[in-house]
Structure 1
Amino acid sequence: MEEFLRRLLSARSVGTAAQAAVDTVRTALGVDISWSGVITDGVLTMAAHSGLRTSRMPATWRLPLGEGIGGRVAAEGRALAVRDYRHDPRRAPVMKSLIDEEGMRGALCAPLVHGPEVLGVLYAADRRARDWAPDDFHLVTGLARDTGSAIHRICEVEAASRRSAQDRRLALDARRGLLVATEVAAAMVRSDDLGAGLGVLAHTLGMPVELAGPSGEPLVGQPGADPEEPVRFEVDLGDEPMGRLRVRGGRDLNPTERDLLGTTSEIVALHLLRQRAALRSELRVYAEFLDDLFEGRIDDRPGLQARAALLGIDLRVPRHVVCLGVHTAGPGEGRFIGPQTLDRVERAMHSRYPKAVVVPRSGDVLVLLPPGTEDSRQVHRSLQELVRVRPGTPDTLAAGFGRLCTDVDEYIDSYAEASLALDLARRRAAPGEVLSPRDLGLYGLLVRSSTRQTMESMVGRALGPVLAADADGGPEYVKTLRTYLTNDRHLERTAAALHIHPNTVRYRLARAQELLEVNLRDPDDRFLLELALRVQAALEHG
């Protein structure tokens, strides 16, 4: 990213800036092809490319706005992805032969933007079908946004150089802005410290500059800055957003300074994306370690303890396993914890337990509490405060925690208990529930007396025919049974929860009973069926 910023900020032509983005996309994503188009008179024309096999495509590629994938991106100002061009009806017929000649299949396209203005598009393409990850979208849209800002400024500089002396002064201001932006980027890259870059910007403006969180709380700023000074400039960083760049002071900013802040805000956003990518890479290492720990892959106990030590975890000291997730109030589809809620959970957990390990996992959050949290009642109170319903929060939460682990072998059972406790807590009518091992009852006995394989075998014996039917595109027998039993066998409430007609519920229940050879009026059959459904849900959650 440092090389990209240097090339981008030193570019003096649209083609040079576009080539910097094209080369960076191809290297960062490992794609076969990358190219960039700019808008001229309502048509996209190629400005830079890398990885093309033929000379025909760069010579003849012309795409009117609104046509094909790139034309739609340019017209709508939002990124689009294609898993396989061969089966995508959106591609423009006039481009079909060029695409097929290059053998392109998977593609990701983002707009080159400056504020609300779309200046062109940035493509990443593979010669194989590809499912694009959210990180791919963030990277390409961030690069495209930075490149759009650079192209806008290059065009301003070129236009200003053709105007009067007064206009040339504007060009000089723009060049100075580019130099300042370069210094900001270099300071952050050299020190890997966002505060260093904000310090350069604050010195240039003569005004305090701070980074605030998505909800507005100050995160990074200058020592001694007065938080009561009025905010003169504020802009969101990134699409989510990841934070806000804020300037305080006793005067208004001039247009040149606002333009400078617009450019540097994109650089700061790219730096935050880079930090996030590094954090996610670190979290993947944690996730792989936890998979081995919780799935019982501990044949090499010294090796596992050595890996834990490298991650700052001492498995010899007692810990609780905690699972947190979004409250669903019934058997409906689960939801992933969103970025803002994840940030809130991490900050709250680290505020109370600085050495806690907090890792996103399967859409939920998994926590290894540090030593000193042996009192399960205190753990319960802390988690209740964390998941307490607060006005304005995007997600309502539930939590479960497992037994205290005093030996490596106990982490398997503690995680199984925490996972099942979360599954039960998130289905309670009211959000904010926290369940412990003592709340699991019969389900806890099942977890403690069974391996995952035996539980999967039990589920297979009890639900096999309907699971197979659902897998073959059947009418959601498992979901219907679970909703019916959760609603105390009330037909109309079940139909309303599933958004289907009561007669459809009757048919599904009758067919499920035939497949399973059970009678839902029989208490023993109902008990075994509900137990299997609960265990199956807990296994899926884990």
Structure 2
Amino acid sequence: MDTRELQALYDLALRLSGVHDLDALLQDVVAQARRLLDVDIAYLALPGDDGALTIEVTDGSLGPRLRGVRLAPRVGVAGRVADRGEPVRSADYLADRDLLRSDAVDRVVREEGLRTIVGVPLRLRGRVDGVLMIAQRSVRDFTGREMAFLTSLASFAAVAIANARLITGHRRAAAELTAANDELRRRVDGAERAARVHGRMLGVALRGGGAEEVVLAVSAEFPGTVLLVDDRDRPRVAASGGAVRTAAPPAGDSPAAAFAAERRTRRDGRTVTVPVASAHTYFGALRVTPDAPLHDRDVRVLEGAAMTLALVLVVERAVGDAERRTADDLVERLVAGRVGDEAAFARRARPLGLDPRVPHRVLVVDAADDARVQARLDDLVREHGGIAARLRGRPVAFVRADKDVLRAFAATLGATCGLGGPAAGAAGLAAAHADAAACATVLRSLAREGACAAPADLGPYRYLLSRSGRADADRFVRATLGPLLDHDERRGGDLVRTADAFLGGGRRHTATAAALHIHPNTLYQRLDRITALLGAGWRDGDRALDVQLALRLHRLAADLGGDPPPNP
């Protein structure tokens, strides 16, 4: 080789040594071979695991057909080069009968219009790592110097390819090692977080902490918002960054509805909702909306936190049930007048929230043992001070709050409520409860569902709440309805109820008969009998108002039952 060719090889060696991307390197090799040897096309084939060669890159091809062609061992010029490990030339390939042929290769050669094809091995340490090919679309006699130049170029290319593969392998190994280190670091961080959260959860459970502490601990570990809802999806506590936040109802599907059928963790985008449940009881759900997506290991930490929450809530419920029974018993004794030593009673009552020395108002809710109402009363007494209980099938609260607060609270319940007090001392609190219970009963009897009233709101019916008032009302009822009452008592009749229904229904005969489930003729007979007993005019004018008031007082007194408390 002359000086120019040596300089070209030196420049090429420098160029190839700086290319570490294998695909780019292969493309550069064939491009330089085509340029330096001034041929129509150059291409390079690399062996696979099965020994077959695959043409990886081309330069000068008429189309994409040549790239990707597979050459079986010993087939064609490239196959013979790889088999013998030495340069091979074919002056006119399609006419060369000395080579093993392949229809697929012949077809591509024909489509490319190739005539003379030359191949040299990419040898390194006695091993053939590929074949560099050049071809001409006319018959060309390559000189010995050109063949030597091509062989030297292939040797440089073999070294450069080996280096590129080595560097690529190192980079891949480094990337895999970095990824493994990152994954290990994430696993260690996750394990440390899990241990840290578990330790905090265990500490909360062991010292008798509440659900709020658990939620705060979770929010301190998971940036974002953490919300605990109860079994009816009502927000119980929300936290972010280890601090309590305003709790808002959960958006999206109802966790309670979802977990009624299956109790398993749900993921909706970034939000993770974990059921808080024991073996037989669903307490609610822990909903976490993180600032960054959570990994599976983070979800497992949340599931562990939910288990701790379930344990805390089981204990809370057991303690709450015990306190409820204690509160129910204490209020029952107070209302029934079985206080005994008032000082001793006060010592029992104060830890439960009731201080008899301090004025309280009493709220009685005319509802069955509704868990929702009871929970609301518990919240009320926690906020204002006092005690909530269940008494004779009704939720009741003794609260240190003013009347306007209780009226506003009652309006949110959607239930009929009676108010009593303020009062202090065992006797005063019992009397206030009697007033509140009687008010609730009167409102129900008057069909004023959802209303809230204190004794002063009942108008003439308030007299039924005291002994002297009840006696006055009884005298008025006896003076107005005496003959009817006596008739019904002697004969087991129904004239009082008939008169009440007739006047209360606007004196409409058909409607009254339907309400009493009797024939209209029967109604007329009863009305005539009432007229005979009370005298003409009982259904008209002021007399009718007196009769109707007496009927209501009689009905309310029956609903109230028993003796009212003495006058204050």
The normalised TM-score by structure 2 is: 0.44
Q: Which has the higher contact order (CA 8 A, sep 6+)?
A: 1
Larger Rg: 2
